[in-house]
Amino acid sequence: MITSPTWRGKRFAVLGLARSGAAVVRALVASGAEVVAWDSDEAARDALFSAREGRGEGQPQALSPSTAPLPTLSPEERGLLSFADPENIDLAGFDGLVVSPGVPINRHPVAAKARAAGVPVIGDIELFAQARASLPPHKVVGITGTNGKSTTTALIHHILETAGVPARLGGNIGKPILGEEPLPDGGVYVLELSSYQIDLTTSLDCDVAILLNITPDHLDRYDGFEGYAASKARLFAIQSPDHAAIIGIADAASARIARSLSARGEHLTKIAPGTCMDQSRWPSLQGPHNAQNALAAIDACKALGVDDAVIDRGLESFSGLPHRMELVVSRDGVAFVNDSKATNPESTAPALAAFSRIHWIVGGQAKTDDLDACAPWFGHVARAYTIGEAGPRFAAILTPHMSVEESGTLAQAVKSAAANARPGDTVLLSPACASFDQFRDFEDRGDRFRTLVGGLA
CB atoms within 10 A of CB 182: 15
Q: Which of 254, 282, 279 is nearest to 268 (CA)?
A: 254
Q: Measure the CA dihedral 434/436/439/445, to 10°.
A: 10
Burial class (CB in 10 A: 0-12, 13-18, 19+), 411: middle
Write a three-state SS string for 87-114.
HHCCCCCCCEEEECCCCCCCCCHHHHHH
Tell me how crowded residue 330 is: count the other CB atoms within 10 A of its CB: 12
Residue 351: exposure state from Cβ atoms within 10 A (0-12, 13-18, ≥19): buried
Phi, psi dihedrals of residue 320, rounded to the nearest 5° = 80, -175
Is residue 199 within 8 Å of 125, Cβ to Cβ? no
Is the Cβ–Cβ distance between 12 and 35 less than 8 Å?
yes
Torsion on CA atoms 217, 44, 80, 191, rounded to nearest 10: -30
Three-class SS state of 79: helix
**CB within 8 Å of 87: residues ≥ 6 apart:** 109, 110, 113
**Of 145, 115, 104, the residue nearest 236 (C-alpha):** 145
C-alpha distances (whole Å) from 72 to each of 23, 51, 52, 293, 334 are: 12, 5, 9, 39, 49
Q: Where are the beta strands (DSSP E) in 220-294?
A: 244-248, 268-271
Q: 372: which DSSP letter?
A: G
CB-based contact 28:12 (threshold 8 Å)? yes
d(CA 108, CA 96): 16
Annotated catalytic sites, by residue? 149, 172, 218
The torsion of the CA quartet 388, 389, 393, 397, rounded to 10 degrees, works out to -40
Instruction: Report the alpha-carbon distance of residue 272 to residue 289 in Å, rounded.
Output: 12
